[in-house]
Amino acid sequence: MKAFFATDDGWSGLILRLTLGLVMFPHGAQKLLGWFGGFGFDGTMGFFTQKMGLPWIIAFLVIIGEFFGSLGLLAGLLTRFTAASFIIIMLGAIVTTHIPHGFFMNWFGQQQGEGYEYHLLVIGISAALLATGAGKWSLDRLIAAKLD
């Protein structure tokens, strides 16, 4: 259990988790709360289950994972769990939606949808957090110290 929370006191984990938490929070808030032009919980559940055909539990876990996972990253709580969750979510997004649109995001509105470059960045940052842990100023670090 201690290995799950263990982290060093380095800056890298802190920078990576704050960056990822800040980037993912608006996406989670769109899905759960309807902020930033999103459709909120009901609209997102409907889109995921009816239009995309995902099982309701997968749709629910994506919404909850993105919102609460981003908050957890900002606090440095359950960093490895969230990082692993984001890897799974982003791989699912690539496979179910973004591969047909190629690598690049739709910077100039010239393609039907978004490519998967953003998703690869999230996967890379998440993989680094999975390996290193939360870093400096994290609740995970405090929990690991208590488990000694």
DSSP summary character for residue 47 = I
* pLDDT exceeds cutoff 90 at 2: no
* pLDDT exceeds cutoff 90 at 127: yes
Q: What percent of the chain has pLDDT over 90?
A: 91
CA distances from 82 to 24, 61, 95, 116 (A): 11, 12, 20, 20
Positive or negative, the CA dihedral 86, 20, 123, 121 is: positive
pLDDT (tens digit, 9 = 90+) per residue, 50-75? 999 999 999 999 999 999 999 999 99
**Interatomic CA distance for residues 45 and 61, integer angstroms:** 10
The full set of domain ranges for the chain reads 2-146
CA distances from 121 to 33, 103, 109 (A): 25, 12, 21
Q: Are 62 and 70 in contact (CB under 8 A)?
A: no
Per-residue model confidence (pLDDT) at position 82: 98
